[in-house]
Structure formats: structure tokens, C-alpha cells
């Protein structure tokens, strides 16, 4: 998992109901394995910085109000690699 540090990634965002609401891009700065995100549920997380929301007028803010950085579940992250086709596309 530590091989993700420094990689450019696309994060797929979902509502609390599990509906896809969009994507953001950024760079992985840290990883944390087996974090308890709720009672009895553990996930591997990545800390993404330099987040670009795609809209300069509306920068990304995490739930704590910090701008341009946040933790995300690794399952919602896609490494951006121009040499390979995207796994998901509309």
C-alpha cells in the first residue's frame, strides 16, 4: 500500500446513501491500514493532498473544514496513469 505515496489519484466521491456524486484529483501523501471508521468496520485509508475539485471557484473542503486535503477509503481511489485506459468511464 505504501507504493501509493506520491502517486496522482482520482477519488470517486459518494453520498451517504452510496450514490456517486463526482470525482476529485490529488496526490497521496500518507496511508493508514486497518483504521476503524465505525464500530466493527475497518478500512485502509489514504491521505490525499493538493486536491483539485475541477472548479476553481469551489475548492474541496473536508468535513473538518480543511481545504485541499482529506482521508479517503482506498477502495474509492484510482491511480491516474496516462499509459493505461481508465477503468471506469462514462
Contacts with 5 (C-beta within 8 Å, 6 or more apart), sequence order: 28, 29, 30, 31
Domain residue ranges of the chain, discontinuous segments joined by +: 2-79
Confidence category of residue 56, pLDDT binned at 50, 70, 90: confident
What average pLDDT does range 48-70 have in this prediction? 91
Q: Which is nearest to 68 in space by CA: 84, 52, 56?
A: 52
What would the pLDDT profile of 3-31 be if each residue is shown by its tens digit?
A: 899 999 999 999 889 899 999 999 999 99
What average pLDDT does range 27-54 have in this prediction? 95
Contacts with 53 (C-beta within 8 Å, 6 or more apart), sequence order: 24, 59, 60
pLDDT at 2: 81
pLDDT over 50 at 90, yes or no: no
Mean pLDDT of the chain: 89
Q: Higher pLDDT residue, 20 or 84?
A: 20
How open is the CA angle 58-48-80, to the nearest 5 degrees? Answer: 95
Amino acid at each position: 500500500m505504501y507504493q501509493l505515496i506520491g502517486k496522482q489519484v482520482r477519488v470517486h466521491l459518494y453520498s451517504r446513501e452510496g450514490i456517486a456524486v463526482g470525482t476529485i484529483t490529488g496526490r497521496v501523501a500518507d496511508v493508514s491500514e486497518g483504521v476503524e471508521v465505525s464500530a466493527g468496520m475497518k478500512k485502509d485509508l489514504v491521505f490525499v493532498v493538493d486536491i483539485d475539485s475541477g472548479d476553481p471557484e469551489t475548492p474541496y473542503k473536508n468535513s473538518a473544514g480543511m481545504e485541499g486535503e482529506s482521508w479517503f477509503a482506498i477502495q474509492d481511489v484510482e491511480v491516474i496513469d496516462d499509459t493505461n485506459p481508465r477503468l471506469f468511464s462514462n
